[in-house]
Structure 1
């Protein structure tokens, strides 16, 4: 049993080292076994990546909505707004990503 526990602890250390190299902040909790450490570390990484994906999807939705709303306007409406049709993509990127 001791060999298995040591193997789990080595796996946990490798996961933590890799996550720290990537700049991911980890929350380490006290666990009874090495397996629980590995599971806790994996769960933390998954939740952090899930939050990044949600944020990226929200920005992408803003981009798509802005791009679509501007692209369906007629040329005359765009001229009234002072927006050339060639700037629609840039404006949508600025709205979503602040570039």
Structure 2
């Protein structure tokens, strides 16, 4: 009845299954409880049914990739130390002089 009233007064169309999915995803994201505990709470007979919640949502993947790129952009460029026998002018062409410890490429 709570969902029926909430759905009637808003543009949402929530169900108890939506609430269950949300709870399952939150439990899965918490590193403390093992997957078998989440399986038990959800009442799944097979662990493979619970494993479907392990796949991240697209917006989570995008957020993680953007955060990774921001961390990488904040790191200073580390010069590459080539192995003996490689010609530095070839490496500068391939990697840029900044990657080899020189100025901007």
Task: Name the structure where helix makes up a greater proportion of residues.
Answer: 1
For CA contacts below 8 A with separation 6 or more, give which structure has more relative contact order: 1
Bigger Rg over Cα: 2
Report the TM-score when normalising by structure 2: 0.29
Report the TM-score when normalising by structure 1: 0.31
